[in-house]
Amino acid sequence: MIHEVKGDLVSGIFVGWDSSMILSCLEGIMGHLYADDSTAPQSCMAFIGDFRFFDGRPDKQLVQMLPLDAYMILIARKPEWFPLFEQQFGNRAARITRYAFRHDTGFDCARLMQIETGIDNRFELRKIDADLYEQCRQHDWSRDFVSLFGSYEAFRRLGIGVAALDGDRMVSGASSYVRYSDGIEIEVDTDPAMRRHGLAAACAARLIRLCLNRGLTPRWDAHTAISATLAEKLGFLMSGPYTAFEINAEECKKQEDAACGTDNH
């Protein structure tokens, strides 16, 4: 039987796994934890946003509790979990490579300033306030800047973000996907029509400096090689690639394209 549990019960299972998202779950700030036992767990899943982190003894029930039709990214420290993912999701599961980065980066603030100021002066960088929070919620590309906070009040208290504006319209941004006690996990994206202007890099550079000024640690975990290249440009130091499983990515992409009338040929 699967139980929702508190972080103090399962912190030993995740010990040594350096992830801001797992830390947030363990600290009870965001997300949920599920384990195979309510008193002496041997297996655990951290559930936060689109991510599911598995550790401890591989347990089929933990994997089987996941919905078959949702988009998710499954990550396990032990490869013994991988067959359970493939058994549960079949061709809905695609093995992908993600890129982990160290959290103890020493940033070059002068270099970050150069990146911030290197964009066209038609664009303005601004902290995400109440108005921009609402703009974030209106578009698929920007929704994850604020989606895990639930309200602007929660974002104002725990989150931090920077948007690039073209006039009054937000066209790019970098924000806290997740908050834990000592830092954030960075989320970056740009309106697809406004890419290749250096806006994501500029927003991320400003966000990193804001974090450092507040005594927060900015963290980065890259979904693609392009994201990893951007992280290195900003000064993050890579720990290395790792295997993850992306669930229902193709089906969700088809649904988005149908809704938007997009032709990807």
Indicate which CATH number applies to the domain containing 31. Answer: 3.40.630.110
Tell me what the pLDDT averaged over the chain comes to. 94
224 and 158 fall within a common domain: yes
119, part of any domain: yes
Cα 106 to Cα 112, 184, 208, 232, 249, distances in angstroms? 12, 16, 11, 12, 35
pTM: 0.92
Domain termination site, one of 68, 101, 134: 101
Question: Over 90: is that where the pLDDT of 233 sits?
Answer: yes
One domain, residues 7 and 62: yes
Is 46 a domain residue? yes
Looking at the domain assignment, is residue 157 inside a domain? Answer: yes
Cite the DSSP H helix spans in the chain. 7-10, 20-27, 60-64, 82-89, 109-117, 130-137, 152-158, 199-214, 225-234, 249-260
Question: What is the average pLDDT across 41-69?
Answer: 97
Q: Do 96 and 133 belong together in one domain?
A: no
- Specify whether 153 is located in the same domain as 57: no
232 and 113 share one domain? yes
CATH number of the domain within which 188 lies: 3.40.630.30
Residues 91 and 120 in one domain: no
HSE toward the beta carbon, residue 74, CA cutoff 13 A: 32
The residue among 101, 127, 157 that closes a domain is: 101
Residue 188 lies in a domain: yes
For residues 58 and 74, membership in a common domain is answered with: yes
| Residue 80 forms part of a structural domain | yes
Residue 206 shares a structural domain with residue 133: yes
Instruction: Give residue 105's pLDDT.
Output: 85
246 within a domain of the structure (yes/no): no
State the CB neighbour count (10 A cutoff) for residue 12: 11
Q: Cα(221)–Cα(225) distance, rounded to whole angstroms?
A: 11
Asked if 188 and 83 sit in the same domain, the reply is no
Burial annotation 179-202 (CB, 10 A radius, 16+ → b, else e):
bbeebbbbbbbbbeebeebbbbbb
Q: Are residues 219 and 141 in the same domain?
A: yes
Give the end of a domain, one of 81, 101, 121: 101
pLDDT digits 0-9 by tens, 175-219 = 999 999 999 999 999 999 999 999 999 999 999 999 999 999 999
**242 is a domain residue:** no
Based on the domain organization, do 39 and 115 belong to the same domain?
Answer: no
| pLDDT of res. 253 | 55
Mark whether 84 and 132 lie in a shared domain.
Answer: no
Upper half-sphere CA count for residue 108 (Cβ side, 13 Å) = 10
The parent domain of residue 25 ranges over: 3-101
| 249 domain residue, yes or no | no
For residue range 115-151, what is the model confidence (pLDDT) as tens digits? Answer: 999 999 999 999 999 999 999 999 999 999 999 999 9
Q: What is Dmax (Cα atoms) for the chain?
A: 58
- Number of domain units in the chain: 2
Of all residues in the chain, the percent with pLDDT exceeding 70 is 94
